Amino acid sequence: MRKVTMILIIGITLTILFIAGFPRSGGAQQMKQQLGGAWTLVDVYFEWQDGRRTQPYGPNVKGRLWIDPTGLFGIQVIGADRPKFKSSDRREGTAEENATVVKMTETFFGTYTLDDAEQTITMQVERSIFPNWDGSVRKYGVVFKDGEMLTVGPPTPSGTGSFIPNLLWKRTK
């Protein structure tokens, strides 16, 4: 009887130690609560592999990020200094006007998953203004500090080198 009790105590102790060593699912729930809701864009900057830091949408960029508890997201980024079209119909823009709008706009939506251990959000893009992203997966690091959230995107190749997109958000009031 004493041997059975000792085995039971050891078994319970090992189970507690085993469980304590693993991240809890509540952590992902906590991250979901931190992320959930609406965010307002503060800044977007690219960090280039050669050390440069640029603001591709200009200093007065505007945008929103929505993260809902059911696993859906939407993101819009729009540069502030976009010239107005000559026509009042957006479908009648010149090639130059349309190219500028595409260059100064980023928008996509889809579903997401969270990894609390890595502090990442993985976005499964359903549709994007940039058709090459349709059906793609984009993984962002997430850092919370002083009431703001920084999302750090994956390295992105371009014709002028590779860069890492950084988007700084504040909670929408």
Q: What is the pLDDT of residue 167?
A: 97
Q: Is residue 57 part of a domain?
A: yes
Q: Is residue 21 part of a domain?
A: no
Cβ(120)–Cβ(34) under 8 Å?
no
DSSP string, 46-70: EEETTS-EE-TT-TT-EEEEEE-TT
Q: Is residue 87 part of a domain?
A: yes
As a whole number, mean pLDDT of residues 33-55 equals 94
As a whole number, mean pLDDT of residues 48-52 equals 92
Q: How many domains does the chain have?
A: 1
pLDDT at 31 over 90: no
Q: Is residue 33 part of a domain?
A: yes
Q: Is residue 17 part of a domain?
A: no
Q: Is residue 53 part of a domain?
A: yes
Using pLDDT thresholds of 50, 70 and 90, give the confidence band for residue 28.
low
Strands 163-171 and 148-152 turn out to be antiparallel
The string of pLDDT tens digits covering residues 113-159 is 999 999 999 999 999 999 999 999 999 999 999 989 999 999 999 98
Domain that holds residue 113: 26-171
Name which residue leads in pLDDT, 173 or 22.
Answer: 173
The CATH code of the domain that includes 146 is 2.40.128.280
